[in-house]
Amino acid sequence: MKAYCIDTSGLSTPLEHMPEDIHRSLWEKVSNIIVAGRLAVTTEIYEELTHLNGPIGECIKKHKAALQLEVDDES
């Protein structure tokens, strides 16, 4: 079940100020939320998020189906 819906800046801005290599436990928790399918983004936001680098960027790319959710999609 989805618990969160974010815009690109919801991940890109924190990554700028709290890099993954310094704040590992924070980004591990974010990755766990993504993998668990608790985060929702639109197709447009997903495409923007695929430009993020590092482990969180790779996690996003690997879990497209768990992330991408459209408002009009009945599934």
- Is pTM beyond 0.75? Reply is yes
29/50 Cα distance (integer angstroms): 19
φ/ψ of 40, rounded to 5, equals -120, 140
Encode pLDDT of 38-56 as tens digits: 999 999 999 999 999 999 9
Could you tell me the pLDDT band of residue 74, with boundaries at 50, 70 and 90?
low
Encode pLDDT of 1-30 as tens digits: 899 999 999 999 999 999 999 999 999 999
